[in-house]
Structure 1
Amino acid sequence: MITIKKIVVIYWSGTGNTEQMAEAVVQGIKSQEDVSVDLVAVGSASKQHVAEAHAIAFGCPSMGDEVLEESEMEPFVKSLAAEDVSGKPLALFGSYGWGEGQWMRDWEDRMKGLGAKLVAEGLILQEVPQEDGLSRCRELGEKLVQA
């Protein structure tokens, strides 16, 4: 019997850059066999999306002083507990316009602290994703399926 892996990609995007990244992650996931994937803007996401998923990808750009977006993504991430993500394969991604990626390192530490299993370092791309960056997003989606 074939087991279908259910994967959810939850993201927030202000300018569309992180949304493009999320769509490319989904393309990478869909390129693999025996998977189903849901792409969900964080404003429509629930903890149930996370609970039902075999693996998860979260995407959010760097905001302000290198933090997650504060009105939707930060509250969603803050609502997660160890029982929601512990042991699950997880990928993180996002775009940025300045800084050195501290928001992503902090986010990785938070998710590891909840017991999530990061499949790769958080993927960050500066400004509008170019084809090489979108290719890296697709590869991240493939890694998530294989985890």
Structure 2
Amino acid sequence: MRHRPGRLLGVLVAVLLVGAGTGGSGETVSLDGDRPGERLDVTLTRVVDPAGRAGAERLVAVGLRLENTGTVPYEDSPAAAAHLFDAEGRRFAGVDAPTDAGESLPGTVRLAPGGSASGFVTFRVPEGARLAAVQFALEAGLGDDVGHWSLP
């Protein structure tokens, strides 16, 4: 499912959408970028929880497949573009960290039109947190078009 909140309202809308039942793993969402011809299909492929430990926190790995369906090259940071929400509405930003889940997406993904990349984005989450949703937006997470997947 897509949402088109304004940049300043994006964070507020994101918090309100947690648990809204807008899709699940395996669903592909098409996102438009701010530049003409910028378009990315994003698929949530898998969530691995736990995917390791980092001190008192657990690591959660979110598998994503990114495909440039636009007409211009795509370049962005998947860790900055992705957010994980828990059932209390807390937001966790992606971090560049390896996990037990598999290969991470690179710090910067560069895709020519028609190109694709797959891998994990890692999140540090408190031990008792119940996962609720994943979001992804272009422009390092600040894009107007936001993909949202509710988690079971």
Q: Tell me the TM-score normalized by structure 1.
A: 0.26
Q: Tell me the TM-score normalized by structure 2.
A: 0.26
Bigger strand fraction: 2
Bigger helix fraction: 1
